[in-house]
Structure 1
Amino acid sequence: MRDAGTSSLLRAAIWVAIGALIAAAIVCVVWLFVGSQDGIIGKAFLTILLLVAFSGAAILDAHLAPRRPAWFALSSMIGWVALLLIGAVMIWMPERAYFASFTRFIQFLLIVLIVQLALLHLRLFVKASQRYVTGFTRTVTVVTIALVVGLAALLMAPLVLWEYVDFRDLYWRFVVAAAILAAVGSTLIPLVNVLFAPKKERAATPPFAHVPAAPMGHAPALAAGGYPPAADAAAPEAHAGEPELLPWPTYVDGVTPLPYMPDGQPDWGAYYSGDPSPGAQVFGPIHPPAPAPQPEAPQNHPVPPQPGFQNFPPPQAPPGYDGFPPPPPLPPRP
């Protein structure tokens, strides 16, 4: 279902880009016949650059659409379409001031910056508003989004029409009022999240299996046979999503579990000494598996003494194993 929605969104974005290219071409052709003939070659070159840049931006947005929310991918494509149409109008509008071409280029870059900042603000704001959803936060979100979009339009209008329209003082009063209200709405949602949004809990990773810390004088819960409970094999659904846990450590025999201290932790001192540490408790009776039958060793027949040779006693094995110290002692057996 998600793949189908993503592919339909990609198709819609591509069709929007195609329609925008056709509309921009129509605008350029109309201005070609209506406007003056001054600098027509430079305007045509700038138009080709604008169309190529828009095509690259549209292709990039189409590839990034599966990683973005659906509303943001569509809003980003609409923003690029608006920039394409605004750029085409600014290229082919008759010039009424000196150095108008360079001034329009700088103003178009400012318009691109305004659109991208507005989109970034909306994405972060909507993500923050989804942490704690109530009727109040939903209303503030809708009103703030409308104010941010309106503020962006109010800021772009003078950059496009400054040669033809004289913007009065009342217009800039509306711009400042929209900026203040948008800033207030943008700060309300983070404040509400700090006060009322649930905090994310960090899952602690215990070093061993899920053996609860027992009070003084009480043993942790044991599984059948007197062994500590297994890590995640017994109840995989209960610990889904948690990191893999280690089994309870044992003595050198690999069967007998180490004693546990009053705080529920393994008695590591018993591993090296073979005896439980003071205050440590041992688990229930352990029944180790029966040893596998060993094959009978071949009988060594004594070699009769040979005349002319002196019989020496067999060499004794040195202490340790090939120069290494012997393993820790086994645990005490009843």
Structure 2
Amino acid sequence: MTAPDPYATPAPRAEAGRTDASSSPLLRAAIWVAIGALIAAALVCVVWVLIGGQNGLIGRAFLTILLLAAFAGVALLDAHLAPRRPAWFALASMASWIIALLLGAIMIWMPERYHWIGFTKFIDFLLIVLILQLVLLHVRLYIKAFQRHDTAFTRTVVVITIALVVGLAALLIIPLAFGEWLYFADIYWRIVVAVAILAAVGTALVPLVNVLFAPKKPRAHAAYPVLAAPTAVAPAAGPAAHELLPWPTYVDAVTPLPMLPDGSPDWNAYYTGYPSPGAHVFARLEPATPAELSAPAPAEPAPPQPPTNQPGYEGYPPPPPLPPRP
């Protein structure tokens, strides 16, 4: 049995209550799905290049290269940040980028109905990415608020609200991606508005329930500064020493307040005139009279001098006697 190396660097511990996302099988599967989606999107784009028309071929090829490079960059970034995130959030983030990659490839190479407008589709794609990221941010903050007060009611509200938010995102993304080929009746937009209202109500319910029923975090109350007792205190050395505050007194500005066992002044005695039980009462400080102030300070006694009247030794004691001889 070998002894542990005392100089070995300890392995980092995962935070309490958080699953390591890098070891999650779902995240590993999502990364492989992202790799497969990248390869599939590249192959589909190559097929469209070979069999498609010549209209805007160079522009589409350039946008495809940008799309694949951007997806590879965000996939690497998500894999790097995965150990710092919950497993479900890392998986959802990777899924959102996969959806953005597939929709981007479809929007680039989808045959145009009237004429191909690259700038308009680029703006629509940016809006799709923005919607997906806002949904991720909403879900993460919403689940944090839900974890403060987990009940059956809030759990039901959270599940319904997240479903409504995801459905609202899908209802907004479909017109941006396929608006050129699909016709959306008036009832479609009415449904979008209704889902948005329900999602907003569900989003507001959980914070309101937390305000009413969630346990409050203890707040640190500011304590009164502990003043020094009215005893003689030697001045601290050095210019950086802090000066003690004067001990509070009664209304007469002479009698000091009693001191509680914790060292703080007995403020209750200031209003009632009687010290609290257990408080230490100090003697009344009498002001000095003018005669005492004008009297000179008593001279300190001189130190005793060694006697100098012993002859032959000049004040020093005589030498000790010799030891006995045999």
TM-score (normalised: structure 1)? 0.62
Q: Which residue number in structure 2 is paired with residue 308 of structure 1?
A: none
Stretch moving more, 194-203 or 90-99: 90-99
Cα distance, 1:86 vs. partner? Answer: 0.5
Q: Distance in 2 between matches of 1:71 and 1:58?
A: 16
Do the aligned partners of 1:13 and 1:62 also contact (CA within 8 Å) in 2? no
1:7 aligns with 2:56: no
Write the letter of the residue equivalent to 1:103.
T
Stretch moving more, 21-30 or 53-62: 21-30
1:126 aligns with 2:155: no
Long gaps (5+) in structure 1? 210-247, 254-259, 269-277, 283-299, 304-334
Write the letter of the residue equivalent to 1:264.
P
Write the letter of the residue equivalent to 1:27.
V
Q: Which residue number in structure 1 is paired with residue 261 of structure 2?
A: 264
Q: Distance in 2 between matches of 1:281 and 1:122?
A: 59
Stretch moving more, 56-65 or 102-111: 56-65
Q: Distance in 2 between matches of 1:18 and 1:261?
A: 76
Write the letter of the residue equivalent to 2:128.
I
Cα distance, 1:79 vs. partner? Answer: 0.4
Cα distance, 1:97 vs. partner? Answer: 2.8
Alignment of 1:317-328 (within 5 A): none
Q: Distance in 2 between matches of 1:267 and 1:128?
A: 41
Do the aligned partners of 1:61 and 1:77 also contact (CA within 8 Å) in 2? yes
Q: Which is higher, the Rg of structure 1 or of structure 2? A: 2
Do the aligned partners of 2:60 and 2:108 also contact (CA within 8 Å) in 1? yes
**Sequence identity, in percent?**
63
Q: Which residue number in structure 1 is paired with residue 280 of structure 2?
A: 281
Write the letter of the residue equivalent to 1:281.
H
Long gaps (5+) in structure 2? 1-12, 235-256, 266-273, 282-304, 309-326
Cα distance, 1:96 vs. partner? Answer: 2.1
Q: Secondary structure at the match of 1:36?
A: coil
Indicate how the Cα distance of structure 1 residues 187 and 261 shifts in structure 2: closer, same or farther if over 3 A, else same: same
Do the aligned partners of 2:260 and 2:280 also contact (CA within 8 Å) in 1? no
1:162 aligns with 2:190: no
Instruction: Figure out how many residues of one structure are paired with residues of the other and give that number.
Output: 241
Alignment of 1:79-94 (within 5 A): 79-94=96-111
Do the aligned partners of 2:21 and 2:90 also contact (CA within 8 Å) in 1? no
Cα distance, 1:265 vs. partner? Answer: 4.2
1:176 aligns with 2:193: yes
Alignment of 1:98-247 (within 5 A): 98=115, 100-204=117-221
Cα distance, 1:205 vs. partner? Answer: 6.9
Cα-Cα RMSD: 3.6
TM-score (normalised: structure 2)? 0.63
Indicate how the Cα distance of structure 1 residues 264 and 179 shifts in structure 2: closer, same or farther if over 3 A, else same: same
Q: Secondary structure at the match of 1:130?
A: helix
Q: Distance in 2 between matches of 1:53 and 1:178?
A: 32
